[in-house]
Chains A and B, each alone.
Chain A
Amino acid sequence: MASSRFPIPQGTLDMLILQILSLEPVHGYGIAQRLQQVSREVVQVNQGSLYPALHRLEQKGWLSSTWRQSETGREAKFYSLTRAGKKQLAVEKESWKRLAVAVRLIFDEGK
C-alpha cells in the first residue's frame, strides 16, 4: 500500500486542502483520499501532517467545521471553506502560477 511518496511542503499542502474544499465540504479522510485520487496517485499526503494542517487552517479562519451525519451513518467532522479561505486560495493560486512560470523560464533557459 505504501507506494512512492511525493513529499509535499507544508505551504503547498495548505493550498491543496483549500482547493479540495472549494468544491464542497469534506471530512479529513475524504480530503486525503481525494488528493490521492485526483492527482492520479502521485500526491499521497503524509497522514501525520494532514490533521495538524486542518486544525491550523481552521485556527486561521480559512476553514470552518461542523459535525454532521456522514455516509457511513456515523457522525464526522466536515470542513468547509470560508469566505476568507476563498480569498486566500485565490492569492495562493496566483503565487503558485507565478512561481511555476519562473521555474519553467529557468528550465527553458538551460536548454
Chain B
Amino acid sequence: MTWWQRLLGRKRIEAQLDAELSDHIERQVADYIRAGMSEADARREAQLLFGGVERMKEECRDARPTRWVEDTFQDVRYALRQLRRQAGFSTVALLTLVIGIAANTTIFALVNGVLLRPLPYPEPDRLVDVRLGGYQPPAQFLAFRERARTLRIGAYRDGRELTLTGPHEPVRLRGALATAGLFSVLGTRPALGRTFRDEEVRPGANPVVILSHRLWRQRFGGDADVLGRSLVLDSVPRLIVGVMPAEFRFPDSNTAFWMPLTIDPSDSGDLWGINAWTIGRLRSGVRLEQARAEVRAFTPILRELFPSQAFAPTWGRAADVVPLQEQLVGDIRRTMLVLLAAIGSVMLIVCVNVANLLLTRGMARHRELAIRGALGAGRGRLFRQLLVESLTLSLLAGILGAALAFASLQSVVSLLPADVPRVDEIRMDTAVLGYALGLSLLTGLLFGLLPALRASVSSVGAALSQAGRSMMTGRMERRVSDVLAGAEYALALVLVIGAVLLMKSFWNLSRVDPGFRADRLISATVVPSELEYPDAQARRQFAEQLVTRLRQLPGVDTAAFATTIPFGGGVASGVFAIEGRPDPATTGVWSQTDTFAHVSPEYLRVLGIPLLAGRAFTDADKEGTQLVALVSRSLAEEYWGDASPLGARIKNPGQDPPWITIVGVVGDVRWINLADEGSAVLYRPAAQSSWALTRVVARITGDPALLARDLRGIVASVDKDAPVSDIRTAHELLAESVAQPRFTATVLAVFAAVALFLGAIGIYGVMAYAVTRRTQEIGVRVALGASRRDVLRQFLGRGLGLAGAGITVGLCGALLVTRALSSLLFGVEPVDAAVFVGVGFTLAAVGLLASYLPARRAALLNPVEALRTD
C-alpha cells in the first residue's frame, strides 16, 4: 500500500485494524469456551490477556510512516476549533497578523518590481550603462563603437518633445532618439515591423519613426495595418516602420516613440555639442571588469584620434561601466530598502505581541496539556501540536493578508511619487506570493516557538494540583515576557526616531526658498504648430500675441513666456566659452550651465527673481541689436569668483562671433531640485533666440481653475492646432518635486505610529497580566497594611522600568541605525539631539500611560475578594 493510498483510505485502514484485533479476541474467546469456560468468563479472560486495545491500536498506528501527517491534520483541525472557540483572542491576533503580513507583502511587491526583478530584456544582466568619461559627446561614441571588442553599444537621447498633429486633437508627446544599434543591444524584438536600418540613421535620410505599444493602441486602435502609414510630428510626416511590444519601455514609461539619432560626422556641433547616453551589451564570455578596463583604456586612444582636441587632464577619470539596472534604479534603492526594513520591524513587533498573547494564554492551558501528557502524549508530540497551532494561525493570516495585499496593490501604487522607475513592473507574481508564504511560516515559528517550548516542558504533577495554577508562573516565563515587551518598545522607538527625522527633513525641504515667488503663479506648456509658424520669428510673435491677450484677462497681473520655468521642465543644460580664456574647442573644457533660459523681458518680474547687478532685459534687446545675456549669481561666482562678470563676453559652441555680452546678474533660483544649491543659469532674451519658446507663465489674482479654462480659449483663438498641456500652479510644481521625500516621510510616520501603538499595547498587556496573576499576592499585601498608593507605585514603577529599559536600548540602537538614513535627510543630522531626547520623553510618557491603567486596577482591588481569588 503506497503512502498516498494510506492517507486516503484511512477509514478503511482503521476498520481493518479494528477487525483484525477483534478477530483475535473472538478466537481466544472461542478457545476458552472450548476449554470449558463460560462465555462471560471467556470474554473477560480474553480481554485481560489481550491488554489495552486502544493502546495497541496506537502502537500499530505508530508503525505507519504516514503517522506524522495524520497527526498534523488532526492538530490543524484542533487548532481551527480552538481558534473558533476563543473568538476574542483569535480576532485580535489574526487581525494584527493579517495587517502585518499584508503591509509587508505590499512593500515587498514594490521592492520586487522596482529593485529586484530583472529588466524586461533578454539576458538583462549583460546590459550595462557605459560612461566613456567627459560628458558623452557623440564623437566619442562613434569612435568607441568602431573599436569596442567587449561590448556592443547603442546611444540614445531622451526627453525629446514633439507635437503630434492629425485628425485628433494635437498632443504633445515625449520620445527618444536612438541609434540603430540601440534596439539590438537591448534585444527586444519589435511587435510589428522592424527597427531602424543603418541608412535611416544617416543625416538626410527619409524620416522614420517607431511607435510605442501604448501610442499604437491609443492613436491607431491597435490596428495591425499601421506599418507604412505616417505620423506627423512637428509638422514632419514620418514613416512608421515598427511598433514595440507593451513591456518595452525604454528609457522610461513616458517614451511614446523613437526616432533615429543622426550624427553627422562632419558637423562639429553634432559631434561635440550635445550629450547622448550610451548603453551596451557585454559580448558572450566577457565579464564586466573586462569591459570596464576597455572603457578606461579608451581615453588615451581618444586623445590620439582627435589630436586637435586637447582634452583636459581630468577627462576620462570617471569612465566606467555600470550594470544597467543599477543605473536605472540607483536613486530609489535606499528609500525602498528603508521602507522594507521599517515594515519588517513592524512585523517583528506584531510577532512579539502575538507571542506574548500566546504565552499568557499558554499559562491557562497548563491543565489541558498536562492531561494530554498523562494520556500518553510525548513531549515531542505536545510541542508539535502547539507549534502546529501557531502555524495554522499564521498561515491563515498569511492567506488573508496576501489577499488583502492583492486587492489593495493598485491603490498603493497610485500613491507612489511620479518619479519612481519601473512602476509598471510592480505586481503580485510568484516571488511576492512566495515571500508572503515564507513570511507567514517564519512569523508562525517566531511567535509559536517560545510558547510551545514552554508549555511542553511543564511538569505534569504540579500543573494538575490546585495550588499549581497560581504558582505556575514560571519566573522564566515572566522574564521572557518582559524582555519581549521591552524589545518591541525599543524597536518602536527606533522607528519613531527614523520617522521624525524624515519628517523634519521633509519640513526643511518644503521651506526652502526656491529663489522666486511661487504664490499665485501659474504655468503651462504651449507649442505653436510648425505649419502655421514655420520660423523662429513667427513663433515668437505667436508667444507675444498669446501673452498680450493673457494680460488683458481680468484675473491676470502679468505674464511672460520662455523656454523653461523652474520645476516645470524645458531644462536645457549646455556649455559656453568665455572670451579671453583658453578656447574650449581645443581644450575640451567648456563652462557649464545647469540650464539655459531664453526669456521674455517681463519674465524676471513675473517670477519675482531679483536683479543683483547690472540691468535686466528690455524690449530694446531684440534681433539685430547687441547680443546680451544675464547670469545667475552662482554661475558668476563659479566662473568669475568675486570679480564682476558685467561686460564679459561669452559664446556658444560651434558659433562664430559675435560674442554675447553679460549685462546683469540675477538672484539664484533652484531650478530642478530644492535640495541643490542655486542653479547655474544663463538667460538670453527671447527676441534674440531661435529656440522653441514653449513655456508660458503668469501671475494671477483669481482662481487658477478659471484661468486654465480661459488660457485654453485664448490659445485656441490664436492657433487652434496648438496643444496646451501641463497647466500647473508653481506650488503644485514644487510639491511634485518633493513628492518622494513626502511619500517616504508619510509612510514611515504611519509605520512608526502603528509600531508605537503596538508597543504600548505590549506593555499594557504584560502589566495587565501581571496584575491578574498576582491578584492574590496584592490582596495579601493590602491586608498586611500596604496603601493603595504603594500598590499603584509598585506597578507603575515596574511598567516604567520596562518602558525605560526599552527606551534605553532603543536609543542606543537608533544611534547606530539612523546613519543609514543620512542620504535621505536634508538639513538634519542623523543624530539630532533634540529629536532623540524628544522622542525618548514621548515614549516614556506613553509607557507611563500604558502602565497606568493596569496599575490603577491593581490599586483599586478589593483585598477580600483578591485573597479569595484562585
Residues of A within 8 A of B (CB): 1-2, 27-29, 32, 46-48, 51-52, 55-56, 59, 67, 72, 74-77
Q: List chain B residues, Cβ under 8 A from A51.
A: 20-21, 24, 56, 59-60
Q: In the complex, what residues of A have CB within 8 A of residue B28's CB?
A: 29
B52 CB-CB contact with A under 8 Å = yes
Instruction: Check B62–A52 contact: CB distance below 8 A.
Output: yes
Q: What is the bound-complex CA distance between A76 and B731, given in angstroms?
A: 90
Chain B residues with CB below 8 A from A46, complex form: 51
A51 to B21 alpha-carbon distance, docked (Å): 8
CA–CA, A2 to B46, complex, Å?
11
Please give me the residue from chain B that is nearest to A77 by CB atom: B20
Residue numbers in B under 8 Å from A59 (CB-CB): 63-65
Chain A residues with CB below 8 A from B30, complex form: 72
Say yes or no: B16 contacts A28, CB within 8 Å.
no
**Using Cβ atoms and an 8 Å threshold, which residues of chain A touch B19?**
75, 77
B303 at the interface (CB under 8 A from A): no
Q: How far is the CA of A32 from the CA of B173 in the complex (A)?
A: 92
B168 in the interface (beta carbon within 8 A)? no
Also in contact, A52 and B56, with CB within 8 A (given A47-B50, A59-B63, A77-B16): yes
CB distance from A68 to the nearest CB of B (A): 12
User: B49 and A1: CB pair below 8 A?
Assistant: yes
Q: Which residue of A1, A27, A32, A76 is within 8 Å of B45 (Cβ)?
A: A1
**B1-30 vs A, Cβ < 8 Å mask (1 yes, 0 no):** 000000000000000100111011011101
- Give residues of chain B (19-69) contacting chain A, Cβ–Cβ below 8 Å: 19-21, 23-24, 26-28, 30, 32, 45, 49-52, 55-56, 59-60, 62-65
Residues of A within 8 Å of B27, CB to CB, are 29, 72
Ordered by A's residue number, 7 sampled pairs between the chains whose C-beta atoms are within 8 Å are A47-B49, A47-B50, A51-B20, A51-B60, A52-B62, A55-B60, A76-B20
Given contacts A1-B45, A2-B49, A55-B64, contact A48 B56 (CB under 8 A): yes
Q: Is the CB of B45 within 8 A of A56?
A: no
Main secondary structure of the interface of B (DSSP, over half): helix
Report the separation of the CA atoms of residues A93 and B646 in the bound assembly, to the nearest whole angstrom. 114
Docked pose: A59 CA to B55 CA in angstroms: 19
Contacts of A55 in B (CB 8 A): 60, 63-64
* Given A1-B45, A55-B60, A56-B63, A48 contacting B23 (CB threshold 8 A): no
Chain A residue nearest in CB terms to B57: A51
Alpha-carbon distance A6/B571, docked complex (angstroms): 101
Residues of B within 8 A of A (CB-CB), count: 24
Residues of B with C-beta under 8 A to A67: 16
7 residue pairs, one from A and one from B, having the closest CB atoms: A52-B59, A55-B63, A48-B51, A29-B27, A56-B63, A55-B60, A29-B24
A72 to B29, CA, bound (A): 13
- Whole-angstrom CA separation of A48 from B64 in the bound complex: 17
- Chain B residue numbers with a CB within 8 Å of A48 are 50-52, 55-56, 59
Distance in Å: Cβ of B37 to nearest Cβ of chain A: 9
Q: In angstroms, how far is the closest chain B Cβ from the Cβ of A26?
A: 12
For residue B16, which residues in chain A have a CB less than 8 angstroms away from its CB?
67, 77
State whether A29 touches B56 (Cβ < 8 A). no
Within 8 A of A (CB), among B399-454: none
Contacts of A74 in B (CB 8 A): 23, 26
**Residue among A28, A46, A48 with the highest chain B CB neighbour number at 10 A:** A48
A49 to B30, CA, bound (A): 22
Closest-by-CB residue of B relative to A48 is B51
Q: Which of B755-798 contact A (CB under 8 A)?
A: none
**Min C-beta distance of B739 to chain A, whole Å:** 66
Q: Inside 8 A of A76's CB, which chain B residues have their CB?
A: 20, 23
Closest to B64 in A: A59
Which single residue of chain A is at the shortest CB-CB distance from B61?
A: A55
Across the interface, name the chain B residue whose C-beta is closest to A47. Answer: B50
What is the distance, in angstroms, from B41's C-beta to the closest C-beta of chain A? 11
Chain A residues lying within 8 Å of B52, measured Cβ to Cβ, are 48
Point out which of B19, B24, B62 has the most chain A C-beta atoms below 10 A from its C-beta: B24
User: How many Å lie between the Cα of A32 and that of B49 in the bound state?
Assistant: 12
With a cutoff of 8 Å between Cβ atoms, the chain B residues found around residue A28 in the complex are 20, 23-24
Q: Is there an interface contact between A52 and B60, defined as CB atoms closer than 8 Å?
A: yes
Interface centre among A27, A51, A74, A77 (most CB of B within 10 A): A51
Query: Which residues of A have CB within 8 Å of B49?
Result: 1-2, 47
CB distance from A10 to the nearest CB of B (A): 12
CA distance A109 to B815 in the complex (A): 79
Known: A2-B49, A47-B50. A77 touches B23 (CB 8 A): yes
Q: CB-nearest residue of chain A relative to B28?
A: A29
Contacts of B62 in A (CB 8 A): 52
Query: In the bound complex, how far is the Cα of B59 from the Cα of A46, in angstroms?
Result: 14
Q: How far is the CA of A66 from the CA of B76 in the complex (A)?
A: 33
Write out the residue numbers on chain B whose beta carbons fall within 8 Å of the beta carbon of A32. 24
- Measured CB to CB, the closest approach of chain A to B793, in angstroms, equals 62
Cα of A72 to Cα of B24 in the assembled complex, Å: 12
Bound form: Cα–Cα A1–B42 in Å? 11
Q: How far is the CB of A43 from chain B (nearest CB, A)?
A: 15
Q: With a CB–CB cut-off of 8 A, which chain A residues contact B26? A: 74
When chains A and B are docked, how far (Å) is the Cα of A46 from the Cα of B56? Answer: 12
Chain A residues whose C-beta falls within 8 Å of the C-beta of B55 in the assembled complex? 48
Nearest-Cβ distance from residue A63 to partner chain B, whole angstroms: 12
B contact residues around A75 at 8 Å (CB) = 19
Q: Collect the chain B residues with CB atoms within 8 Å of residue A52's CB.
A: 56, 59-60, 62-63
A51 CA / B64 CA spacing, docked (Å): 13
CB distance from A18 to the nearest CB of B (A): 16
For the complex, what is the distance from the CA of A28 to the CA of B22, rounded to whole Å?
A: 11
CA distance A101 to B50 in the complex (A): 35
Which residue of chain A has the shortest Cβ distance to B51 in the bound complex?
A48
Residues of chain B with a CB closer than 8 A to A1's CB: 32, 45, 49
Q: Give the docked Cα–Cα distance between A37 and B24 (Å).
A: 17
Q: When chains A and B are docked, how far (Å) is the Cα of A31 from the Cα of B19? A: 17
Q: A1-B49, A51-B20, A76-B23 are in contact. List 19 more A-B contacts (CB 8 A).
A: A28-B23, A28-B24, A29-B24, A32-B24, A47-B51, A48-B50, A48-B51, A48-B52, A48-B55, A48-B56, A52-B60, A55-B64, A56-B63, A59-B64, A59-B65, A72-B30, A75-B19, A76-B20, A77-B19
Contacts of B23 in A (CB 8 A): 27-29, 74, 76-77
Q: How far is the CB of B342 from chain A (nearest CB, A)?
A: 52
CB distance from A72 to the nearest CB of B (A): 7
Nearest CB on B from A61, distance (A):
11
Give the CA-CA distance A77 to B32 in the complex, in Å.
21
**Across-interface contacts of B24 in A (CB, < 8 A):** 28-29, 32, 47, 51
Shortest Cβ distance from B341 into chain A, in angstroms? 50
A14 → chain B closest CB, angstroms = 12
Q: Per-position contact with A for B186-205: 1 when CB-CB < 8 Å, else 0?
A: 00000000000000000000
* Nearest residue, chain A, Cβ from B50: A47
Specify which chain B residues have a CB less than 8 angstroms from the CB of A2 in the assembled complex: 49
